[in-house]
Amino acid sequence: MPARPCHTLCMEQPPDPGSPAALHVVKRYAGARLYDAGTLSYVTVDQLRALLRTDAEVAIYDADDGREITRSVLGLN
């Protein structure tokens, strides 16, 4: 996983425990499956978009090569 996310949806530092915004690190596996490492569950793109509407931070990485792919997965290009 890269040390610094490359877009504004990701946080460069983990949030404070008391912070309302939480960082959701998601890995994309084959077949476009998205796995949220924080909740230990598979999620959909719609669920991730809903998280963004609640001010949560989302970072999506390709599970094979570790590339940060949040913008392309969420269709923000």
- Neighbouring C-beta atoms of residue 19, cutoff 10 Å: 12
- Neighbouring C-beta atoms of residue 39, cutoff 10 Å: 12
Q: Tell which residue, 26, 29, 41, 36, has the closest CA to residue 65.
A: 29
Q: Tell which residue, 75, 48, 64, 61, has the closest CA to residue 5.
A: 61
**Residue pLDDT, tens place only, 4-49:** 444 444 444 444 444 555 789 999 999 889 999 989 999 999 999 9
Mark out the alpha helices in 1-77 (DSSP H runs).
Answer: 45-53, 70-74
Specify whether the CB–CB gap between 73 and 60 falls below 8 A: yes
Indicate whether this model's pTM tops 0.75. no
